[in-house]
Structure 1
Amino acid sequence: MDTLTEAPSPAAPQRLLLVTGMAGAGKSTALAVLEDLGWEVMDNFPVRLLKRLMAMPDEARGPLAIGFDSRTRGFVPADIIALVKDLAAREDIALTFVFLDCSGSELERRYNETRRRHPMAAGRPVMEGIAAERELLEPLRRWAEIMVDTSAMTSNDLQAHIRQLFGTDSREGATTLTLSSFGFARGMPPLADLVFDMRFLDNPHWVPELRPLTGQDAAVGAHIERDPAFADVFGRIRDLLLVLLPRYAAQGKPYVHVAFGCTGGRHRSVYTAERMAESLRSAGFSPTVRHRNLGSRAADEIERDRR
């Protein structure tokens, strides 16, 4: 009897991530996070050697991230696009192109803070160097699959965003759920998927004995619970999340961030996030809770919504 020999299954495509963008927009930070996530990272790699690198056999190679920018030797946007098009057409390579952008005013502030020279300023004001680089990189910006604007991001924000885009979870198809609290007076969270405004609730800040406490204290929680609107709104938000979260998971969304805001980020939003986490855990979810402004100073001047 003849035996049939199964054909070997084709190897998985090599994951290749190309990271470029404006100098000062966060390329080094992004690459550091990718390295922590298990990517093999090469920064300032000569782009003209990329095709030769990808032709080298390496069965043990994991996902590969290549960083380059206007300072990299052989940086010609038109040539880079032509090269990347050739690589993207190969069936053995799964290529993603990321561009990190940032507003000119924010880049100028960053360069002034660090006292670094812009690579394209050459003795000119930093804004002229930024404008020249933006003009040079515009073809790459238009062509990139993923554009990340870091203008309003802190370093931590960018790190979290890169993890959301390119991290993997040990459980196939699992969604990582984060509930957070924040203060509107201290800025909106840039990476939240859903934001709920809790400023309609009675503000514990204006109760002298509650002012130095936070939403993690029982007395503050009791005060918020006594607000007639709390129970109904809390239940509606919980029911909405119970509908949305499974649908996010079904769509393959790896991270979901739900943020609750109040004025200062110390009382109403904190309590709501903690209570919602308890409720979702009882429904089978495993949320992580973060409080952005819990340690911020309580101050009358930022509490605008007086009774």
Structure 2
Amino acid sequence: MTEPAHLLGAADIRALAEELRVRPTKTLGQNFVIDGNTIRRIVAAAKLDPEETVLEVGPGLGSLTLGLLDAAERVVAVEIDPTLARRLPETVAQWRPGAVARFDLVLADALKVTELPREPSAVVANLPYNVAVPVVLHLLEHFPSLRHGLVMVQDEVADRLAAEPGSKIYGVPSVKAAWYGTMRKAGVIGTNVFWPAPRIHSGLVAFERREPPRTTATRAEVFAVIDAAFAQRRKTLRAALSAWAGGGPAAERVLVAAGVDPSARGETLGIESFVRIAEQRHTAHAEASADGGTLG
């Protein structure tokens, strides 16, 4: 029976960090995975096709990178830390010499990157806790080629991304993620498989992309409704959307036209309801402009 390919363990990670004189920083949200079995679990949960190009954000010292190169045709890694980025190709060459030509490295902030050397069809990443949701939404917005993926985030954030309408933790991340596809909790990762060990567990979130809801409103218009609806939690939509709509009466008209109860709260609505609200506001604006009037 063939031995599984070597994956970086605690000794490997600490040796690399010592070589580079790197200490993980909270600023960059660096918690390196030091357990090969955890890497195998993440890769298996991602359900990658062997011919896929995978985007990895924040590869760090390369723990997950090696596992992804074993499972996919190509890996494109985006790393913000120049010291780690310089070492990563050497790590790939050392442990996966046959995969060097299948690895691309981009030195960039994942929140700003809008172009990659290859079009990825999947994203698999151990994301920094402090920017996890913005990174996920940014990638889904700018890389429509991403069809599915698996991200490891703070466990509480994983629950929020996968939350359904009516849940106490349902909020802006839940609804905006639903614009792009379906999110589901795919597991929990303990603290002892990281260096340094975080204080809280991590959660795995798997997603499958689908086309956004058909609508005459733009994504920005729909997201503006979502932001307004959750800016003041526990307020009725009539009150929460008042400023956004140009006044209480205008908000009431838009909500009724969208088939949404004005006394409902944002936490109870699915993405389709927010789309209808945005459409009605969009239509009202267009009609007011055509008549030379204003809304209010």
Q: TM-score range by the shorter chain?
A: under 0.3
Greater share of helix residues, 1 or 2? 2
Larger Rg: 1
TM-score (norm 1): 0.25
Ranked by relative contact order (alpha carbons within 8 Å, sequence separation 6 or more), the top structure is 1
